[in-house]
Amino acid sequence: MTPTTHAASIASAPAFPLEQWYVAGFSWELKSAPVARTLLGHPVVLFRTADGKVAALEDRCCHRELPLSCGTVEDRGLRCGYHGLLFDHGGRCLEVPGQERIPPKACVKSFVLRERDQILWIWMGATPDSVPAQEPPAYEVHGDPAYRFGGDVYHYDAPYQLIHDNLLDLSHLGYVHLKTIGGNASVHMNAELKLSQQGDSVKVVRWMPDSEPPPTYSAAWPFQGRIDRWQEVEFHPSHVRIWTGAMDRGTDRLDNPQRQGFHMRGFHGVTPETETSAHYFWTIATNPHPQMQDPTQLVIDQTAATFEEDKVVIEAQFRNQQRFGARPVVDIHVDAGPNRARRVIERLRTAGARAGEGASA
């Protein structure tokens, strides 16, 4: 195999593709208080106004630069916590306490934020006048009555692409996640893998027919014995969808899109915070079996434990990359999916660099 290095190779390209919808948060995070979050290197404040509109503003008051996230959400917008300037969802100043005239420059930058299927999507763009050509992606699982779900937001002290690598290579389950969704390491490492690509989307499919159910599966579903197990990982530049599951051995085809059995459907929004840190927005959905106690909370708890295990590995991996500096690494068979996704990101970053040049010309 050819040695490769993961060091950035395009000096002028942005660290991440910017012409993308990225996950900024989940709907249930926006309650009465504003949420501060640095996204793609920009400090942003997220909030919801009384009429239900969601908003994303630069987290800097234009008066004396207090983070607006220190302020309070009111019916009409977000009030700064220092001298009380009030801003609407578009960043326009509506009120200066004690002064009638609103200075024309009293506004803060706003970002396009959309709420869809309980996911908040932000468009930051490569240039100031960049606008999305289409609405953010749907995620129907969150509204599908066959499924129940929960999720969380994790902060990573590691670059976002290490999370992509991890999600696109599920062979690590047999080593990292033995207590939950793991199973036999050699079954994982020898599973047949099908890799395909459509535009910017990369798909990795792995089948593990006739295998032992791992602990989470057995606890959630009344399997009779051995199982036919699948993993379908669908990478997009800003998020990954993973459909895993299993059915009793020999009961259906593993390529039947309507196949029954135990399902776990994962949504994984991977949004860079900075070049060396990331936000990981995840949900896990499952289809409770009618004769079993609802396993949703168990699946959520075990998924959380699983993702904590990933976080430990990925952050240790990044610390070591920093300790040793950019040195060649060796590829093995499990890297086909991650490497393909890295090529997509590289191409989009290069395209972003060209868009930026166009804007500054």
Using CB under 6 A as the criterion, which residues of the chain lie in contact with ligand FES when the complex forms? 61, 63-64, 66, 80, 82-85
Under DSSP, is residue 245 helix (H, G, I), strand (E, B) or coil? strand
Closer residue to ligand FES in complex, CB, 104/290: 104
Least CB distance from residue 177 to Fe ion, whole Å?
Answer: 6
Closer residue to ligand FES in complex, CB, 62/173: 62
220 binds, among Fe ion, ligand FES, none (CB under 5 to 8 A by kind): none
Q: Which amino acid is at 39?
A: L
Q: Are 63 and 72 in contact (CB under 8 A)?
A: no
Cα separation, 35 vs 315, whole angstroms: 24
Cα separation, 91 vs 276, whole angstroms: 29
- What is the dihedral sign for C-alpha 37, 267, 198, 311? positive
Closer residue to Fe ion in complex, CB, 182/272: 182
Among 169, 232, 234, 310, binds Fe ion (CB under 5 A): 310
Nearest of 161, 356, 159 to residue 274 by alpha carbon: 159
Nearest of 120, 125, 127, 121 to residue 19 by alpha carbon: 125
Stretch that binds Fe ion, among 46-54, 139-147, 198-206, 306-314 (CB under 5 A): 306-314
Least CB distance from residue 80 to ligand FES, whole Å?
Answer: 3
Question: 65, exposed or middle or buried, with CB in 10 Å at 0-12, 13-18, 19+?
Answer: exposed
63 binds, among ligand FES, Fe ion, none (CB under 5 to 8 A by kind): ligand FES
310 binds, among ligand FES, Fe ion, none (CB under 5 to 8 A by kind): Fe ion
Assess 115 for contact with Fe ion (CB under 5 A).
no
Q: Which residues make Cβ contacts (< 8 Å) with residue 94, sequence separation at least 6?
A: 76, 77, 86, 87, 88, 102
Beta bridge partners of 106: none
Closer residue to ligand FES in complex, CB, 67/288: 67
Closer residue to ligand FES in complex, CB, 40/93: 93
- Per-residue binding letters, 332-361, with Fe ion (x by CB under 5 A): ------------------------------
